[in-house]
């Protein structure tokens, strides 16, 4: 029986265990979207994970969703990431950069320009800006001729990620951001080759992935998806057919993995597992959901055919999560008030487990 502590091949890597650190926005980047020394410590503290997936990294300035997030679209940003990836590797870890284009989930106060999206339909809710939450603005609908440029932005950032020392990249196709917006049936009202039918709605995701595979290789490319999710007001019709079609195209591209979130019925997710021939990373809960994932949820999904299990909040509060899972030690709770506050408190200050004398 497969366990969390078993090794697993992933592209050109061999993971020492099946525990993945999920991508989590922490808004600790410096001005200009630069990675910082504190970020190097944060990721290195968690390098016993089989694989780390970084926080969302914008592939272009217009792709930035939140203030305080890092980028991979300038030479200075690439240079700032090198100490981070070096620190992870020095501690024996492996790290992929998650490439996240926010699309309509952004604001001119953050980027200096109007957000773009598949259609001129605003996200639902307030977006983060440098001066606090503000209503999501109406994005500018991309012209057909512009869409390939944004698909290629993932590939260009992927090249920079490899130059920065990352072992690979994960395209963020989930949670209501740009790829997810194209998959959507209410954020995407297009009548051209990128909208309407299932084949058209998956086209942007496929083009972005194909360009990335061409740029850095399939073994260095993963994709994260949230089937049926409703983040930022997106809705999707024909969910099983939509994702089966997308997985078929990703299988043709032979990407290193697909990373699913538990955002739809388990029956649908199990069907997608059967449809996907490659490595599957499963995140067993809805992001920001009510429950912190532990060993029981991980074992459940390994039993259903997942190859790797990603943990979010558990990794924030437990830098030694792999050891705690291995030995059955209790997991420390996370302080959610420190998620986005900046600084090192609630970032570098969670300790490893302290054993006391009997």
Could you give the CA distance from residue 201 to residue 336 in angstroms, rounded to a whole number? 35
Tell me which H or E stretch contains 311. strand 308-311
Could you give the CA distance from residue 166 to residue 329 in angstroms, rounded to a whole number? 31
Instruction: Give the dihedral of Cα atoms 236, 63, 155, 52; nearest 10 deg.
Output: -80
CB 197 within 8 A of CB 50: no
CB 50 within 8 A of CB 2: no
Could you give the CA distance from residue 313 to residue 58 in angstroms, rounded to a whole number? 22
Helix axes of 75-90 and 37-45: crossing angle, nearest 10 degrees: 30
Could you give the CA distance from residue 132 to residue 255 in angstroms, rounded to a whole number? 38
CB 179 within 8 A of CB 172: yes
Q: For Cα atoms 312, 317, 320, give the angle at the middle one, nearest 5 degrees.
A: 90
Q: Which residues are catalytic?
A: 177
Tell me which H or E stretch contains 260. strand 257-261
CA distances from 130 to 31, 108, 110, 186, 229 (A): 12, 10, 6, 28, 27
CB 316 within 8 A of CB 334: yes
> Nearest to residue 100, comparing CAs of 22, 46, 36, 37?
22
How many other CB atoms are there within 10 angstroms of residue 76's CB atom?
Answer: 11
CB 204 within 8 A of CB 173: no
């Amino acid at each position: 029986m497969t366990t969390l502590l078993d090794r697993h091949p992933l592209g050109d890597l061999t993971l020492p265990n099946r525990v993945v650190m999920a991508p989590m926005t922490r808004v600790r980047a410096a001005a200009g979207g630069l990675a910082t020394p504190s970020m190097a410590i944060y990721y290195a503290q968690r390098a016993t994970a089989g694989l780390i997936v970084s926080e969302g990294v914008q592939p272009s300035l217009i792709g930035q969703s939140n203030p305080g997030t890092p980028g991979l679209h300038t030479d200075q940003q690439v240079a700032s990431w090198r100490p981070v990836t070096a620190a992870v590797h020095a501690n024996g870890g492996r790290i992929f950069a998650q490439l996240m284009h926010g699309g309509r989930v952004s604001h001119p106060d953050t980027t200096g320009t109007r957000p773009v999206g598949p259609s001129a339909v605003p996200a639902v809710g307030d977006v983060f800006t440098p001066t606090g939450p503000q209503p999501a603005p109406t994005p500018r609908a991309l012209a057909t001729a512009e869409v390939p440029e944004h698909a290629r932005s993932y590939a260009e950032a992927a090249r920079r990620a490899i130059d920065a020392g990352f072992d690979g990249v994960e395209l963020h196709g989930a949670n209501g951001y740009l790829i997810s917006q194209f998959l959507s049936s209410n954020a995407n009202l297009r009548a051209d080759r990128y909208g309407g039918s299932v084949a058209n709605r998956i086209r942007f995701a496929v083009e972005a992935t194909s360009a990335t595979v061409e740029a850095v290789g399939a073994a260095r490319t993963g994709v994260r998806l949230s089937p049926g999710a409703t983040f930022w007001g997106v809705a999707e019709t024909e969910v099983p057919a939509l994702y089966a079609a997308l997985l078929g195209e990703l299988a043709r591209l032979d990407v290193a993995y697909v990373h699913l979130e538990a955002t739809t019925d388990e029956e649908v997710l199990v069907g997608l597992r059967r449809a996907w021939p490659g490595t599957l990373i499963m995140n067993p809960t809805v992001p920001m959901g009510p429950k912190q994932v532990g060993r029981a949820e991980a074992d459940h999904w390994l039993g259903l055919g997942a190859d790797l299990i990603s943990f979010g909040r558990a990794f924030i509060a437990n830098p030694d999560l792999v050891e705690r899972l291995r030995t059955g030690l209790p997991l420390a709770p996370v302080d959610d008030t420190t998620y986005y506050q900046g600084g090192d408190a609630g970032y570098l200050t969670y300790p490893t487990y302290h054993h006391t004398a009997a």
